[in-house]
Amino acid sequence: MQNVLQILNISISKALSALYEIQNIELSFQKTKPDFEGDITLVTFNLTKLTKVSPDATATAIGEYLKTHETLIEKYNVVKGFLNISFKNEFWLNYFCSVKDNLNIGFKTTNSSGKTIMLEYSSPNTNKPLHLGHVRNNLLGYSVAKILSANGHKVVKANLVNDRGIHICKSMLAWKLNGNGETPQSSGIKGDHLVGKYYVEFDKLYKSEIIKLVNEGKTKEEAEKLAPIILEAQQMLLKWEKGDAEVIELWKTMNGWVYDGFKQTYANLGVEFDKMYYESNTYLLGKEIVADGLNKKVFYKKENGSVAIDLSNEGLDEKIVLRSDGTSVYITQDIGTAIERFKEFPELNQLIYTVGNEQDYHFKVLFKILDKLGYAWAKECYHLSYGMVELPEGKMKSREGTVVDADDLLTEMYNTAAKTTAELGKVDDFSEGELNELYKTISLGALKYFILKVDPKKKMLFNPAESIDFNGNTGPFIQYTHARIKSVIRKVENFKEFDKSKIEINLIEKEIIKTIYDFESVVTEAGNLYNPAIISNYVYELTKLYNRFYHEHNIIREENETVKNYRLALSKTCATVIANAMNLLGINVPERM
């Protein structure tokens, strides 16, 4: 199967050469707008300087040349300098027949690119449960990993767990003070939520101590530094770093609770990882690199003994990479882990960090430092930056209790899916297990699609009422279309080949075939841009087209056997593409719903 653009590039280059003696010029194509007749459009304005004739005349001349010289082209029309080109139906039909039985449409063979990419996502803290912001991160990371795999890359999904630090000590301390030995088992509270509860508890205690100190005449800033409970948390962190047995024991216990909780949430979200990293193992990395960088004069020592790099020539500021007491800061660790990963995976071509856009600056600095340290792969580090998730009432603030909890959200979506499905009553014969599966599929489909259809770079508004809507541009609408196609196909026992020489493609069928044709390049584009929203928009377009086709034309009711079998094949192929596209978003599609 020849590529449409390749064919046209070659033919039109020949035309330009023959007609105007023009060589090597970049051609500008676009899909023909629906209001005009044609499959693909050549924009001729940029050619007129060389052709020396008007856009319309240029377009007409090229069109005429194509019609007589390129056998695959049926006809053309010219509108205001746009050359709309139509390929023969035979061409589209041949294309369709070449893919109709391929269950992997749009997917390149695994590892065919020879490229290995590590994609880090999720990266939670172990002091509180996952919330809506993490959900976007997880869904985005997982989907991009799928998309990159579909582009033939080998992808290592990595998760760097922030399992240490002052914030973890806060939960630990509050539990020690007020926990009375409470455990997930004794309380029936999911582990990550239990630990989160004590993180909030710490904040309460801390605040009341601050108020007390302020009442005693201290300034707010002083009080924040002097509150006994914060001092104790800092002591606890020091003990942790020294390996104090009791502190380590408590740390392991409470982190264990959190991991049990996360495991459930990850399973419910349907995300997974190939490689787990823990900051308790990596937080010391990078110090030797700093020493090395000092020798290379990439870094310099300041008067107070801290080590820094000056990035003011790059439009950035001075950045401390080691404190004056010799301890590392966050970026020290990031430098170390990046280098470590390229050592661990020598075949690694690219390292992608899925992290919110509030850290744009951090990653600019990080990549610049790696570059200055002389690592050639620094250019292959990429920050997959995404916008914040906001609620109709504004930003999520844990202190004000406006955070949308991931587990609560999933439960709520599940219940809505169950309610709606029961009301429609189409699967009343399902067993309890089948219903449970279906509700999970639909609720997750709704949530994932709702989040992934927005360009990752942009901040998004999460309106709970809209997220559980199952009509219109939603995951369940697309899932429904898939189920509907499958329902039609189930009704036919003898699925027969059709004689393509007897098929006349109608307009909507041609639109569908052209859209199926686009899938491959859409997957490529989504991969190049790390953008699942491109897949979402695409699959929605295809689904809308199919539904229109379904309403306008008979499939199994069609009397002409050849046409019937052709339409069945077209339907089946749509179902495959819908399923494949949704798969790239991490969304399953049901056989019935």
Partner RNA sequence: GGUCCCAUAGCUCAACUGGAUAGAGCAACGGUUUUCUAAACCGUAGGUCGCAGGUUCGAGUCCUGCUGGGACUACCA
Q: Site residues for RNA, window 73-112 (CB under 7 A)?
A: 79-82, 84
Choose between 348 and 542: whose C-beta lies nearer to RNA.
Answer: 542
| Residue 376 beta carbon to RNA: minimum distance, rounded to whole angstroms | 25
**Residue written as token pair 């065919």:** 112
Spatial strand order of the sheet with 82-87 comes to: 28-31, 40-43, 82-87, 73-79
- Tell me the three state secondary structure of residue 301: strand
- Tell me the three state secondary structure of residue 29: strand
By the rule CB under 7 A, 166 interacts with RNA: yes
Choose between 381 and 593: whose C-beta lies nearer to RNA.
Answer: 593
Hey, which bits of 433-566 come out as E strands? 460-461
By the rule CB under 7 A, 397 interacts with RNA: no
Contacting range for RNA; rule: CB under 7 A; set: 67-75, 105-113, 164-172, 256-264:
164-172
**Residue written as token pair 């199926």:** 516
| Residue 222 beta carbon to RNA: minimum distance, rounded to whole angstroms | 16
By the rule CB under 7 A, 350 interacts with RNA: no
| Residue 475 beta carbon to RNA: minimum distance, rounded to whole angstroms | 9
**Cβ contact 121:142 at 8 Å:** yes
| Residue 30 beta carbon to RNA: minimum distance, rounded to whole angstroms | 5
Choose between 13 and 306: whose C-beta lies nearer to RNA.
Answer: 306
The residue count for binding RNA (CB under 7 A) is 98
Q: Which of 106, 476, 527, 532 binds RNA (CB under 7 A)?
A: 476
Q: Which of 246, 274, 466, 561 binds RNA (CB under 7 A)?
A: 466
| Residue 542 beta carbon to RNA: minimum distance, rounded to whole angstroms | 11
Contacting range for RNA; rule: CB under 7 A; set: 10-18, 29-37, 219-227, 267-275:
29-37
| Residue 6 beta carbon to RNA: minimum distance, rounded to whole angstroms | 16
By the rule CB under 7 A, 468 interacts with RNA: no
By the rule CB under 7 A, 347 interacts with RNA: no
- Positions 415 through 454 that interact with RNA (CB under 7 A): 417, 420-421, 424, 426, 442, 453-454
| CA terminus-to-terminus distance, the chain | 36
Q: How far is residue 121's CA from residue 567's CA, in Å, rounded to a whole number?
A: 42
C-alpha distance from residue 284 to each of 225, 233, 241, 463 (Å): 26, 20, 10, 41
Nearest to 286 by CA among 338, 345, 228, 358: 338
Residues of 316-344 as b/e, b for ≥16 C-beta within 10 angstroms? Answer: eeebebbeeeeebeebbbbbbbbbbbbee
| Residue 243 beta carbon to RNA: minimum distance, rounded to whole angstroms | 18
- Positions 285 through 344 that interact with RNA (CB under 7 A): 302, 304-306, 315, 317, 320, 323-325, 329-331
Q: How far is residue 366's CA from residue 312's CA, in Å, rounded to a whole number?
A: 14
By the rule CB under 7 A, 35 interacts with RNA: yes
Q: Which of 143, 255, 474, 580 binds RNA (CB under 7 A)?
A: 474
Q: Is the dihedral of CA 556, 559, 561, 564 positive or negative?
A: negative
By the rule CB under 7 A, 404 interacts with RNA: no
Binding mask 555-584 for RNA (x = CB under 7 A): xxx---------------------------
**Cβ contact 341:118 at 8 Å:** yes
Contacting range for RNA; rule: CB under 7 A; set: 89-97, 101-109, 193-201, 473-481:
473-481
| Residue 509 beta carbon to RNA: minimum distance, rounded to whole angstroms | 13
Choose between 168 and 348: whose C-beta lies nearer to RNA.
Answer: 168
Q: Is the dihedral of CA 94, 100, 104, 107 positive or negative?
A: positive
Contacting range for RNA; rule: CB under 7 A; set: 87-95, 190-198, 499-507, 537-545:
537-545
- Per the structure block, which two tokens stand in for 431? 């067993």
Spatial strand order of the sheet with 348-356 comes to: 275-278, 154-161, 116-120, 348-356, 381-386
Choose between 195 and 348: whose C-beta lies nearer to RNA.
Answer: 195
The β-bridge relationship of strands 381-386 and 394-395 is unpaired
By the rule CB under 7 A, 470 interacts with RNA: yes
DSSP state of 154: E
- Positions 240 through 279 that interact with RNA (CB under 7 A): 279
Residue type, 499: D
| Residue 327 beta carbon to RNA: minimum distance, rounded to whole angstroms | 7
**Cβ contact 490:573 at 8 Å:** no
- Positions 193 through 212 that interact with RNA (CB under 7 A): none
DSSP state of 345: -
Q: How far is residue 577's CA from residue 582's CA, in Å, rounded to a whole number?
A: 8
Choose between 131 and 453: whose C-beta lies nearer to RNA.
Answer: 453
Residues 6+ apart with CB under 8 A from 360: 383, 385
| Residue 107 beta carbon to RNA: minimum distance, rounded to whole angstroms | 20
Q: How far is residue 352's CA from residue 381's CA, in Å, rounded to a whole number?
A: 6
Q: Which of 486, 512, 565, 573 binds RNA (CB under 7 A)?
A: 486
Q: Which of 212, 252, 263, 458 binds RNA (CB under 7 A)?
A: 458
Secondary structure element (H or E) that encloses residue 145, with its range: helix 132-150
| Residue 187 beta carbon to RNA: minimum distance, rounded to whole angstroms | 27
By the rule CB under 7 A, 588 interacts with RNA: no
Q: Which of 75, 176, 362, 500 binds RNA (CB under 7 A)?
A: 362
C-alpha angle with apex 431: 429 to 435, nearest 5 degrees? Answer: 95
